[in-house]
Amino acid sequence: MTDAQCYSYDHMKKIAEVIISKTKHRPTVLIICGSGLSSLGDVVEDREVVNYKDIPDFPLSTVKGHAGRFVFGKQGGKTVVCMQGRFHPYEGYPLWRCSMPVRLMKLIGVKYLIVTNAAGGVNPNFKTGDIMIIKDHINLLGLAGNNPLNGPNDEKWGPRFPAMNDSYCPKLRKLAKEIALEVGAKNFIREGVYCSLGGPNFETVAEIRMLRIVGGDACGMSTAHEVITAAHCGMKTLGLSLISNECVADYDVTVFANHEEVLETGEKRKKTLQDLVTKLISKMN
């Protein structure tokens, strides 16, 4: 099998059956943890862990801060699965493999996706520690022709040409704004456009200036391919970006982005994000 192909629907069903056999839980909500945000899985109750290495034909996480396991259990009164460790194209995986967990969870019964990431603040008004509700994305990889839906389309998953204008569910975004006020995030909750880039290098000054011009508010190296896949198979999605650093848009600035800062910011906002996500899940219909 080449990287240009994806696993067939029947093959994915077999992988899903293996996962189902390892847990009593049947989740309706999938939470994908971004870098430094694996603590979102710490509040899952009645938990059962399935390690990626125990799932056939499944990729493995290689990035610090990504544990490499599914945590199944209860959160906010609902059955959930928390993905502690995602996959990125810079790790060497084709985009269809990076987003295959979304399809697997769809087969298991998931209807909602809560996708999180650590992101650089492109918007000059954003500060480190802000939480941005994603209202839309600019998929730079997709604009260059690299899309998780490339190749033959199987209608069992979804249509050949899925619409993306409501891929970040307006109702969930509105609910998230309301809950953010309840959990004390009034002063650092934002809403904006996420720009998805390939990485693994951080962005140049010229690239940040370009992203500002085209309407970007935050940028990172994940998320868009997962949301595209979720939209294709009919999931409702909420996206949250934790602004882990302020992007440099001036050649005279000698501050450099680094992954340690990403992990530190995740620790700082751990409790707020846990409360926000838990209350959001409890109010999902």
Is 232 one of the catalytic residues? no
For every residue of 99-136, DSSP letters joined together read: THHHHHHHHHT--EEEEEEEEEE-STT--TT-EEEEEE
Is 191 one of the catalytic residues? no
The alpha carbon of 136 is separated from its chain's Cα centroid by a whole number of angstroms, namely: 13
Of the residues 66, 137, 225, 232, only one is catalytic, namely: 66
Is 221 one of the catalytic residues? yes
Is 1 one of the catalytic residues? no
Of the residues 16, 91, 167, 224, only one is catalytic, namely: 91
CA distance linking residue 238 with residue 179, whole number of Å: 13
Of the residues 83, 105, 118, 119, only one is catalytic, namely: 118
CA distance linking residue 255 with residue 266, whole number of Å: 20
Of the residues 51, 90, 153, 164, only one is catalytic, namely: 90
Of the residues 221, 224, 230, 231, only one is catalytic, namely: 221
For 40, 130, 180, 199, the CA distances from 187, given in Å and listed in that order, are 21, 8, 10, 30
Of the residues 222, 235, 244, 284, only one is catalytic, namely: 222
CA distance linking residue 170 with residue 166, whole number of Å: 7
Is 16 one of the catalytic residues? no
Q: Does residue 159 have a cis bond before it (omega within 30 degrees)?
A: no
Of the residues 35, 123, 139, 241, only one is catalytic, namely: 35
Is 167 one of the catalytic residues? no
Is 99 one of the catalytic residues? no
DSSP class of residue 217?
A: S
Is 61 one of the catalytic residues? no
Is 222 one of the catalytic residues? yes
Is 35 one of the catalytic residues? yes
Of the residues 51, 146, 153, 259, only one is catalytic, namely: 259
Of the residues 168, 245, 246, 249, only one is catalytic, namely: 245
Catalytic positions, please? Answer: 35, 66, 88, 90-91, 118, 221-222, 245, 259
